[in-house]
Structure 1
Amino acid sequence: MEHVILLDDSGTATGLQDKSTVHTDSTPLHLAFSCYVFDRSGRFLASRRALSKKTWPGIWTNSVCGHPAQGEPLTDAVRRRAGFELGLELDELRLVLPAFRYRAELDGVVENEMCPVFSAVAAGDPAPHPDEVDDFRWLTWDEFRREANAPDSAFSPWCRLQIEQLTALGPEPAAWPEGDPALLPPAARQPSPVL
């Protein structure tokens, strides 16, 4: 069973729930992550969620998102999902927004996550898994920000919220400062092997 780690408002793990049942109209708070992947020239990799996805099908978003498994360090989870969803190995994986949290709703399905944000450099070319990613594009960071922030944006709500906070870190993603791991939710700082 693939599961998500449920959280209380302090970010402490309270239990597990089957991932296939967690996203409803009253999704409980749980632990996730997002990652923004760049190539060696600084272009950003935007991905379009597969139409078969339960949440936000066909929506453009950041490079990769996911949920850590019980006892799995966040960095390992980011690398695992990037490999599975995008067929990518990651270099220079860095925590940039340790305390990002959001709630969003589309067509009666809610996302409700504490979602630390990472940046990374692609070690090769994407080969997306068709059940996860319908399409991808390489964009300059400025092109991406303009598209995502447009009034008729096709990008996910969490992505648009993250852009606001990432922009505050500076205009050049390669120069974003490392986030403080002490600001991660407790469940992400010390993954628990047993709940």
Structure 2
Amino acid sequence: MTATMAPAQPASAEHILSLFPEINTSLATQTRSALKDDDLQGYDEEQIRLMDEVCIVLDDHDQPIGSASKKVCHLMENINKGLLHRAFSCFLFDSQNRLLLQQRASEKITFPDMWTNTCCSHPLGVPGETGSTLDAAVAGVKRAAQRKLDQELGIKAKQVPVEHFDFLTRIHYKAPSDGKWGEHEIDYILFIKADVDLDINPNEVQATRYVSEAELKEMFKDDKLTFTPWFKLICQTMMFEWWEHLDHGLEKYKGEKDIRRML
């Protein structure tokens, strides 16, 4: 996969809504319980419950169309028809400029056991986390990142104030997890520098590790380790350049308006 700034084939709101009548255009909470869903039989109960969360469904220009459950958004049969949702990838660095990585729990339905950046998740289709302008969307993903850092890693909001997150850019990528599940996201890249206390949620995270640039590059050489596709894409393109400028010069990379297409 390579990165390009060229636009992808457009998927209009009308086309997406005609394909997926289950999309809720009012961004209201879904009511159906995933616990009763045949597609999710045999998975961890807490992870099934989280499949009821509502993701923000998008057109190819990152404009919200409505909301659909996490389960609907992550089925490959829907992704292959063009269903796209909003996400974020947060990269937390400590005062030594080491990046905090997490290894996803075995209980995860998508990409279990893989190493990835500090926190990767979705803003929800609820007031405060959605937005149709770039500024509003960035504010929403920052709130979502703060919420998920606590839920996954036990990092309290006071250690990661919303105003301390830096938004760099957005990437549009698609990746299968297995034959059934996958990702198709416009992913907001957030950096934050903070020394934090961890209280790991074992249902989400099985291990964490702080790494330098050199240590991360060595991890990528280890055939025994697996990494999430979005993390690999980011590292193969801009990650190490951004990291180099973490203390001096990151300003020029912040707030990019174009979406980086990595399809």
Sort the TM-score into its range (normalised by shorter chain).
0.7 to 0.9
- Aligned with residue 73 of structure 2, among 12, 18, 22: 22
Equivalent-residue separation in structure 2 for 1:146 and 1:118 (angstroms):
24
Matched with 1:81 is: 148
Q: Give the structure 1 partner of residue 200 of structure 2.
A: 128
Aligned to 1:90: 160
Aligned length: 183
AA partner of residue 64 (structure 1): C
| Residues 64, 182 of structure 1: alpha-carbon distance in 2 compared, 3 angstrom cutoff | same
CA apart distance, 1:144: 1.2
Question: Which residue in 2 is equivalent to 1:117?
Answer: 189
Q: Could you tell me how far apart the structure 1 residues matched to 2:190 and 2:85 are?
A: 17
- What is the CA deviation profile of residues 79-135 of structure 1, one whole-angstrom value per residue up to 9, with x for unaligned ones? 111111111132531112x22121111221221000011111234221111111111
RMSD over equivalenced CA pairs, Å: 2.1
User: C-alpha distance in 1, partners of 2:148/2:233?
Assistant: 21
Partner of 1:156: 228
SS of match in other structure, 1:100: strand
- Deviation at residue 16 of structure 1 after TM alignment: 0.7
Structure 1: which amino acid aligns with 2:143? D
CA distance in 2, matches of 1:123, 1:171: 19
**Residue 41 of structure 1, CA deviation:** 1.4
Which residue in the other structure is 2:62 paired with? 11
> Residue 181 of structure 1: CA displacement?
5.7
**Unmatched tracts of structure 1, length 5 or more:** 186-195
Q: 1:50-83 CA distances to partner (integer Å, 9 max, x unpaired)?
A: 1111110110100001111223111111111111
Which structure has the larger Rg over C-alpha atoms?
A: 2
**Which amino acid is 1:113 matched to?**
E
> Which one has the bigger strand percentage?
1
Asked whether 1:103 is paired with 2:174, we answer yes
8 Å contact 1:46–1:136 — kept in the other structure? yes
Decide whether the 8 Å contact of 2:73 with 2:84 is kept in 1: no
CA–CA distance in structure 2, aligned partners of residues 142 and 174 of structure 1: 17
TM-score by length of 2: 0.64
Partner of 1:47: 102
Q: How far apart, in 2, do the equivalents of 1:155 and 1:174 lie?
A: 26
Greater fraction helix:
2
Deviation readout 1:15-44 (Å, 9 max, x if unpaired) = 111113321123321000001111111111
Alpha-carbon distance in 1 for matches of 2:144, 2:232: 22
Supply the distance in 1 between the matched residues of 2:232 and 2:142 (Cα, whole angstroms): 22
Change (3 A) 1:41 1:169: closer
Q: Give the corresponding residue for 1:173.
A: 246
SS state at 2:244 partner: coil
- 8 Å CA contact retained: 1:116, 1:184: no
Aligned residue type for 2:101: A
| Letter in structure 2 aligned against 1:9 | D
Matched position secondary structure for 2:67: strand
Counterparts of 1:31 and 1:183, CA distance in 2? 15
Q: TM (normalized to structure 1)?
A: 0.84
Query: Unaligned regions of 5+ residues in structure 2, if any?
Result: 1-51, 130-139
How far did residue 184 of structure 1 move?
6.7
